[in-house]
Every structure is written in C-alpha cells, then in structure tokens.
Amino acid sequence: MEKNVKVSMLCQIYGKMLTEKQYNFLNDYYNNDYSLSEIAENYQITRQAVRDNIVKGEKKLFELEEKLGIMKRTQNQEEQIVKILSELTKIQTKFSDDKIANILENVKKELNCLV
C-alpha cells in the first residue's frame, strides 16, 4: 500500500491520539495535498517545524498501528467478508430454492453493510 494512503488511513483511525498540530499538519499534507511551505505559511511557522511535526506524527501513527493493529485487522475482516460474499453468490447460483435465495440475499445485504 502506498505510504500516502496508509498515513491517511492511520490518521483517520488514530488521529485523536496525535497532538492537534500533528493531526492538522498530517491532514493538510496527506489529505489536502498542501506543501510544507503552504502549511508553514498558514500557521506562520518555519517549513522545518512543519516537517518535524509531520515526521513525529507519522512515527506515532505507525507505532500505534504496530501495537494495536486496528487497520490490519480491519483490512483482514474486509477481505474475509469479500470471500464470504463470493461463496454466497456461488451457492445462490447453484441452488434455485426461493427460501434459500432469500436467506442468502439477506445475509449478503448484511455483509455488504460491513464493507
């Protein structure tokens, strides 16, 4: 997974555990596509101060994910749900019983809500 996407996802999961500056700078840099210079200008600080906050924020996000593993667990669950949906579709196409079809359709709807 690309680093930008990963940091953005980690920021959504663990953002509240960062300082307000770290969160704002990471959000501006990764989600709003601001340059270091633009962020520095907006907050009236040096470009280096922005970079330091971003690096510290990234480090904290990766440490939290390593310890807690929420993103990895979520991705694994989504992959399992996709596999289950695929298997349900196979069953649905092989058997034409209306009751089974209705039950499977309801299960698929519930699983789709989780993805």
Percent over 70 (pLDDT), the chain: 97
Query: Number of folded domains in the chain?
Result: 2
**Which residue range forms the structural domain that includes residue 88?**
74-114
Confidence of residue 1 (pLDDT cuts 50, 70, 90): confident
The pLDDT of residue 41 is: 97
Write the DSSP string, 35-93: -HHHHHHHHTS-HHHHHHHHHHHHHHHHHHHHHH-HHHHHHHHHHHHHHHHHHHHHHHH
Instruction: Supply the CATH number for residue 16's domain.
Output: 1.10.10.10
Q: Are 91 and 104 in contact (CB under 8 A)?
A: yes
Residue 61 shares a structural domain with residue 15: yes
19 and 44 assigned to the same domain: yes
Cβ partners under 8 Å of residue 43, min gap 6: 21, 24, 25, 50
